[in-house]
Amino acid sequence: MMFDRPLLRFVPRGTKINFMRGRFIGLATSAVLSIASLILFFHPGLTLGLDFRGGIVVEARTQGPADFNVIRAALASEHVSAAGVQSFGGPDDVLIRLDTPPDSEPDHEARTQAMVDSVRHAIATLPGAQVLRADAVGASVSKELFRNGMLALGISLLMILAYIWFRFEWEFAVSAVVTLVLDLTKAIGFLVITHFEFDLVMVAAILTILGYSTNDKVVVYDRVRENLRKYRTMPLAELIDLSINETLSRTLGTSCTVFLAALPLALFGGASLSGFAWVMLFGIVVGTSSSIFIAAPLLLLMGEKRLRRDARPPTRP
Amino acid sequence: MMYYSRLRMASVIGVCLIGLALCLPNFIRQPSPSLPWRQIHLGLDLRGGSYLLLQVDMASVTADRLRGLQDETRQTLLKAGLGYRNLATGAHEVTFTPRTPDETQPDLKALRAMPMNAPGEFEVKQGENGQIAITLSADAARQRAYDAVTQSIEIVRRRIDATGAIDPEITRQGEDRIIVELPGISDPERVKNLLGTTAKMTFHLVADSAIGSAVPPAGVEMLPMSSGQGTLPVFSHVDVDGADLTNASASIDQQSGEWAVNFTFDSTGAQEFGDVTRTNVGKRFAIVLDNKVIEAPVIRTAITGGNGQITGGFSAQQATDIALLLRAGALPAPLNVIEQRSIGPSLGADSIRAGGYSLAAGFVLVIAFMALFYGRFGWYANIALLANLVLMTAILSLFEATLTLPGMAGMLLTLGMAVDANILINERIREEVARGRSALQAMQAGFERATATIVDSNATALLAHVMLFVFGTGPVRGFALTITIGIVTTLFTTLLLSRMLMVRWYARTRPSTLPV
């Protein structure tokens, strides 16, 4: 039968790559990237999306290429000032951004809502133009959404830590969570560089890549634990290398399928989903490599004394 | 591990078939109304529509209650022949100083006998410097807030139903918020205006003697005219309350040709209205809506039928809206719109197209990958993947879940991750074959060893997404829900279905080598 046997093979059978030899290079690269990301996080910082920044965003489609001056004039006649008008997607799509009044002012919520209506009225005066989307988020709501988003992130990390701790020894849990935090900083750096807006959907994307990354680490750790029982005297470095090599073709296979699933979304998913999908793609690459180059060396550093008390000293190559 | 009883096979296949049946409502029309028909709803981001988050102004609910309490305190003390000084309301309490310190005990006794809206609603205590404070309890305040929101939801629903909106969803969120979702309405301005009006209508006698005086005497308020020009002094006492209306409608007045709102009182209201108009013929009677005087006509004769008409220079839309608001009833407190999201229908259609194509393309890529790299067992995994998609759709339909754009992304990612379990099994079988195990042993060991890993890796993902569902808001919840459901269906399809396919194939052919 023509589909009986696999036509292609991902990783040659029985690889023996010495990953642990490069552990310091891996850790150092990761540290540099994460520190760079942290610097980027503080300066210039994330581009906050509407959910977390608050404000008004109106997306409109004009008949024919958008003329910004006409749009600004229409807005001005409705007494909307200080609006940012920019192109978006196609030549006939425009994005109008407004800041909400500060929440120290009375009636700021009502005024925010009135501003959206004014923008709508302004667009209605342009022939053939239509509003595609109009969002207005008040200052109090955006603060709350931000807090909830961060809470979800923090609690997920804690739950992952608790679960791995419960299922494995604590060395595994700590190195997994440290790796996840490093992954997280890199994802933030990626967001800063790409100027993707950080909003609730991005929090979901980040949580998904954290979930994926954990999943990947659990598979490698699972094999390490199995091999710890199987090879009672093998030095830990050698044992971790063996475990990574044994699971390598699964690690790469799964990364590939998830990558392939997300790729069309990044390329054709439309404005609202492509940012999400690009972060996913980045996260898949980072999460997969960090399982091998960060989580495993960390486990080696932390577990060398504890996990392998009776082992013979590691042989220097 | 390598044996599937008939019963077990039948149940696995049965679940898949039930799943398939549950998916049907999404694709065909309901043949008869008696059949249960549950389907996935499209979220506002896919079908177009508006989302409004409203906050009930709790401060005004409390302020209202305190104003009432201050009034009752005054009445109670007067009735008992007790005096007071410095009667005032604070943020949560009414305070006053007794006329003399001797009156403190009688004051406390009289006030503690005041009727409460709920047990333990307020506490009467003597504070420092001899003042007496009537403090609203926090519990009662919470209860009142809860009631206010419940009542508001009911009125919001009535008002929105009256606009003819299709399938509006009105739900409570947290302590003091209401979510209103309006599919198909991409410009919510009118709804916002309707909801932004409290629509409290009251009738007061006009204090003609106070016209022109700068400071109104006690018991008289200066209210602005709704036309925006000038103010009118009216007695604070409410003679007739609009809450006693049974009907209201807009029509054109025969004589003037103006738009008017006609209203009908219930028996209590009609009685009160009749009494007031009978005893005050020749005086002016102010019709007040949300603290603005709409008009103040002179009472010519007693109006006993319980019917009335307001003409205030309305436009057709204004008259219709006022009638609608009067019919639906007044809100217990003002509502503020604090978040608004609206999506036009064309953007929703674009999103469905883009999302749908990406979903299909991603699915095809994953299937091709599995077929190329895992051969026969890869195809089994693909069958499981298809079953996974069917079961996810089935469970989402069963919950009548709302599919959002992030939810679609969640489905796609689940499918990408779902094959992980199959890859784990296949890789493990390959390893065991490489170690020189027989076909049977290799499959057995593969299933056994891979299961622990599959459960571990899915459990962590499950935890993360349940958290996301619990703490997330809006679109994120939809995303988390689809992934959570996806993980459950993934466990079923990989641990039971694809394994069953592999085991059955083995039992049928008894191969000496495995196609791995």
Q: Which residues in chain A (225-254) have CB-CB distances under 8 A to chain B?
A: 226, 246-247, 249-250, 253-254
Residues B513 and B515: their CA atoms lie apart, in Å, by 7
User: Can you say how many angstroms the Cα of residue B437 is from the centroid of all Cα atoms in its chain?
Assistant: 60
pLDDT band at A310 (very low <50, low <70, confident <90, very high): low
Scanning chain A, the segments in alpha helix (DSSP H) are: 23-42, 50-53, 68-77, 108-124, 139-167, 170-194, 200-230, 236-268, 271-290, 296-303
- Each residue of B373-417: pLDDT tens digit? 999 999 999 999 999 999 999 999 998 888 888 888 788 778 878
Backbone φ/ψ region at B131: left (φ over 0), alpha (ψ -120 to 50), beta: beta
CB A201 within 8 A of CB B476: yes
Residues B50 and B187: their CA atoms lie apart, in Å, by 7
User: Can you say how many angstroms the Cα of residue B445 is from the centroid of all Cα atoms in its chain?
Assistant: 51
Residues B163 and B185: their CA atoms lie apart, in Å, by 11
Output the average pLDDT for chain A.
Answer: 87
Measure A228 CA to nearest chain B CA, in Å.
Answer: 15
CB B344 within 8 A of CB A224: no
Q: What is the DSSP string of A230-252?
A: H-SSS-HHHHHHHHHHHHHHHHH
Give me the amino acid identity at B78.
L
pLDDT at B379: 93
Angle formed at CA A277 by CA A271 and CA A281, multiple of 5 degrees: 145
Secondary structure of B343-387 in HEC code, one letter for each residue: ECHHHHHHHHHHHHHHHHHHHHHHHHHHHHHHHHHHHHHHHHHHH
DSSP count for chain B of H helices, then E strands:
13, 19
Q: Is the ipTM of this complex over 0.95?
A: no
CB A131 within 8 A of CB B344: yes
Backbone φ/ψ region at B98: left (φ over 0), alpha (ψ -120 to 50), beta: beta
Residues B349 and B47: their CA atoms lie apart, in Å, by 7
CB contact A83 to B (< 8 Å): no
- Could you check whether the bond before residue A44 is cis, i.e. omega within 30 degrees of 0? yes
In B, which residues are within 8 Å of A261 by CB distance? 362-363, 365-366, 412-413, 415-416
Q: Tokens 């709508």 sit at which residue?
A: A120
Half-sphere exposure of A201 (CA within 13 A, CB side): 23
Tokens standing for residue A203: 């929090």
- Beta bridge partners, B85, equal B97
B463 vs A279, B146, B411, CA distance in Å? 21, 32, 17
Tokens standing for residue A99: 């800041």
Residues B388 and B403: their CA atoms lie apart, in Å, by 17
Note whether A272 contacts B427, CB cutoff 8 Å. Answer: no
Q: What is the mean pLDDT of residues A156-161?
A: 82
Note whether A273 contacts B355, CB cutoff 8 Å. Answer: yes
pLDDT at A317: 46
Residues of chain B under the 70 pLDDT cut:
1, 474-475
Element (H, E) at B322: helix B316-328
Q: Is B98 strand, coil or helix?
A: strand
Sign (positive or negative) of CA dihedral B73, B78, B83, B85: positive
B91 vs B66, B87, B138, B482, CA distance in Å? 9, 14, 12, 45
Residues B389 and B252: their CA atoms lie apart, in Å, by 58
Q: Are strands A93-98 and B41-42 parallel, antiparallel or unpaired?
A: unpaired
pLDDT at A1: 45
Q: Tokens 């030549």 sit at which residue?
A: A91
| Neighbour tally for B334: CB within 10 Å | 20
Note whether A7 contacts B375, CB cutoff 8 Å. Answer: yes
CB contact A47 to B (< 8 Å): no
B322 vs B156, B256, B332, CA distance in Å? 14, 19, 17
- Each residue of A225-273: pLDDT tens digit? 999 999 988 899 999 999 999 999 999 999 999 999 999 989 988 777 8
**Which of B350, B362, B453 shows the shortest C-beta gap to A222?**
B453
Residues B233 and B217: their CA atoms lie apart, in Å, by 9
Q: Model pTM?
A: 0.81
Residues B444 and B354: their CA atoms lie apart, in Å, by 43
Closest chain B residue by Cα to residue A114: B189
Secondary structure of B202-220 in HEC code, one letter for each residue: EEEEECHHHCCCCCCCCCE
Tokens standing for residue A70: 């006409």
End-to-end CA distance of chain B: 19
CB B306 within 8 A of CB B265: yes
Note whether A208 contacts B483, CB cutoff 8 Å. Answer: yes
- B186-203: burial string, b at 16+ Cβ within 10 Å, e else: bbbbebbebbbbbbbbbb
**Which of A59, A135, A163 shows the shortest C-beta gap to B460?**
A163
- B259-294: burial string, b at 16+ Cβ within 10 Å, e else: bbbbbbbeeebbebbbebbeebeeebbbbbbbebbb
- Each residue of A71-116: pLDDT tens digit? 888 888 888 876 788 887 778 888 899 888 877 777 788 888 888 9
| Neighbour tally for B155: CB within 10 Å | 19
Name the nearest CA neighbour of A119 among A92, A82, A89, A90: A82
B317 vs A7, B35, B249, B415, CA distance in Å? 71, 42, 12, 51
- Beta bridge partners, B309, equal B262
**Which of B370, B415, B463 shows the shortest C-beta gap to A163?**
B463
| Neighbour tally for B24: CB within 10 Å | 14
- Beta bridge partners, B259, equal B252, B314
Tokens standing for residue A202: 């991005």
Scanning B80-120, the segments in alpha helix (DSSP H) are: 104-112
The lowest-confidence range among A50-54, A190-194, B394-398 is: A50-54
Q: Could you tell me how many CB contacts below 8 A there are between chain A and chain B?
A: 251
Name the nearest CA neighbour of B453 among B494, B483, B485: B494
A195 vs A44, A90, A199, A251, B182, CA distance in Å? 10, 19, 12, 30, 32
Angle formed at CA A152 by CA A150 and CA A155, multiple of 5 degrees: 105
Tokens standing for residue B16: 């898949």
CB B202 within 8 A of CB B235: no
In B, which residues are within 8 Å of A250 by CB distance? 420, 423-424, 427
| Neighbour tally for A141: CB within 10 Å | 19
Name the nearest CA neighbour of A282 among A209, A197, A218, A203: A209
Tokens standing for residue A190: 């990626």
Give me the amino acid identity at B440.
L
Q: In whole angstroms, how large is the CA radius of gyration of chain B?
A: 34
Q: Is B131 strand, coil or helix?
A: coil
Residues A75 and B307: their CA atoms lie apart, in Å, by 46
3-state helix, strand, coil in chain B (%, to 5): 55, 20, 25
Residues B452 and A116: their CA atoms lie apart, in Å, by 54
Q: Is B472 strand, coil or helix?
A: coil
CB contact A58 to B (< 8 Å): no
Mutate to test the interface with B, among A16, A203, A219, A257 (most CBs of B within 10 A): A257
Residues A31 and B251: their CA atoms lie apart, in Å, by 75
**Which of B408, B431, B456 shows the shortest C-beta gap to A222?**
B456
User: Can you say how many angstroms the Cα of residue B244 is from the centroid of all Cα atoms in its chain?
Assistant: 28
Tokens standing for residue B506: 């083995």
Q: Which residues in chain A (87-106) have CB-CB distances under 8 A to chain B?
A: none
